[in-house]
Structure 1
Amino acid sequence: MTETKWSEVDAYIVEKLSPAEDPLNQTLDAALARNRAAGLPAIDVSPAQGKLLHLLARMSGARRILEIGTLGGYSTIWLARALPDDGRIVTLEFSPVHAEVARENILAAGQADKLDLRIGPALEALPTLEKEGAIFDFIFIDADKGNNPAYLQWALRLARIGAVIVVDNVVRGGRVLDAASADPDIIGTRKFFDLAGAEKSWTATAIQTVGQKGWDGFAIGVVEAA
């Protein structure tokens, strides 16, 4: 099968399970349009992946969500919609430009009351969250891949027992197999897998995916010990 066919199947899935007339989908489409108009990179999760995140967060009964990597807020909206009215999503974004677009998108989606958007390097914001005593039920990691090992360590420190952690883009078109790669994203992803397999405080797996975003995958795990 070709990548074109993968995208066609994605479109079929969305058509059948996320109808275009749904106001939520119209809001999400508008968010992607704002992202394009602002010149943001088109690296958001796909609609089917966004809904998967939404469902996983709902299944976990999440009340507090941490997202590392906001971009334009597309995945943030999906996750915020999974929260109860008094829930909270803390999302970390390095770029002030991206954060400004994300804030506009999340406001337009009616989710601003749940939002705690923090701008700057995530590895500076995460220790602050720990000092604040923040504990999360669901954590989504989708930022610079070179820092994924550090992000996982912080996620485990900030997660309650039973929390779900999802890490995006862990297959990278199969390039994760290249042990000789000099690409920081591949190096970081391989180190993530080494750490994820050795870490005893959670149990995890990874799933390969194909679709409009090409060939990639995500890791998902459950925290079992503090």
Structure 2
Amino acid sequence: MSHEQWTAVDRYFTDLLVPSDPALDAALEANAAAGLPPIDVTPNQGKLLHLLARIQGARTILEIGTLGGYSTIWLARALPAGGRLITLESAPKHAEVARANIERAGLSDIVEIRLGQALDTLSQLDAEEQGPFDLIFIDADKPNNPEYFKWALKLSRRGTMIIADNVVRKGVVIDEASTDPNIQGIRRFNELLAAEPRVSATAIQTVGSKGYDGFAIILVTESNDSLS
């Protein structure tokens, strides 16, 4: 099978199950116009995140890595009345584009963008006692994924769902000799995940218009206090 065929199958399911949406379409157009990298989740992956958040019954969501806010909109739309989402972005230009996209989608009242290096803003969230969050989506710089996972655990409760994107990296994740810091970051993340007794996790491979990659899906099974 080819990338062209994966893309065609993506288009088939998107056309059937993910109708065109003005706010989401405008967000992608604004991202492209601003020169943001085209690394958003695909529409059917955005719908997957939305459905997982609804299945989880999430009232509080933390997103690590905003980009232009496309996945943010999908996740925020899953929240019930009174829900809130905090999204972390290090690049001022990305945050500016995301803020406009989120406002256009009518979600400014429930979405807060925190600008700064995520490891700093995660520490601030902890100091502010913002957690625990019901769902945490990790989709930022991959070398720091191990640290993001540690913070996600700290900001979780028993029953929190953690989702991490881009854990397959076109299959190169299995190359233990890779010198790519992205691959090494993902491998360290996976090893931490395997050794962590407070979670139950799996990973799924995905193919589609963005190529070959995958998600890790993690359920926190024990509270932070249980092993202290």
TM-score, with normalisation over the residues of structure 1?
0.97
Question: Which residue of structure 1 aligns with residue 6 of structure 2?
Answer: 6
User: 1:85: how far off?
Assistant: 2.3
Identity %: 60
**SS of match in other structure, 1:203:** strand
Measured after TM superposition, the shift of residue 26 of structure 1 is 1.9
Deviations 1:80-134 (A, max 9, x none): 0000121110000000000000000000001111011100100000111111112
Aligned to 1:191: 188
Structure 1 residue 111 and structure 2 residue 123: aligned? no
Aligned to 2:172: 175
What is the total number of aligned residue pairs between the two structures? Answer: 222
Matched, 1:74 2:102: no
Superimposed CA distance per residue, residues 10-30 of structure 1 (whole angstroms, 9 cap, x where no aligned partner): 00001001223xxxx221011
One-letter amino acid of the counterpart of residue 77, structure 2 = R
Could you list the runs of 4 or more consecutive aligned residues of structure 1 that deviate by over 6 angstroms after TM superposition? none
Counterpart-to-counterpart distance in 2, 1:139 and 1:2: 32
Q: Distance in 2 between matches of 1:27 and 1:220?
A: 27
Cα distance in 2, alignment partners of residues 63 and 160 from structure 1: 13
Separation in 2, partners of 1:65, 1:219? 17
Q: Which residue of structure 2 aligns with residue 102 of structure 1?
A: 98
TM-score by length of 2: 0.96
Give the residue type in structure 1 aligned to 2:201. Answer: A
Structure 2: stretches of 5+ with no match in the other structure: 224-228
Partner residue of 2:156 out of 143, 155, 159: 159
Q: Which residue matches 1:39?
A: 35
CA RMSD in angstroms, aligned pairs only: 0.6
- Residue pair 1:85, 1:114 contacting (<8 A) in 2 also: no
Once the 2 structures are TM-superposed, how far is the Cα of residue 151 of structure 1 from its aligned partner? 0.4
Aligned-partner residue type, residue 168 of structure 2 = V
Aligned with residue 133 of structure 2, among 128, 133, 136: 136
Q: Which residue of 1 aligns with 2:117?
A: 121
Corresponding residue of 2:226: none
For 1:9-20, list aligned pairs within 5 A: 9-20=9-20
Q: 2:197 aligns to what SS in structure 1?
A: coil
In structure 2, distance between residues paired with 1:19 and 1:7:
17
Matched to 1:149, the amino acid is P
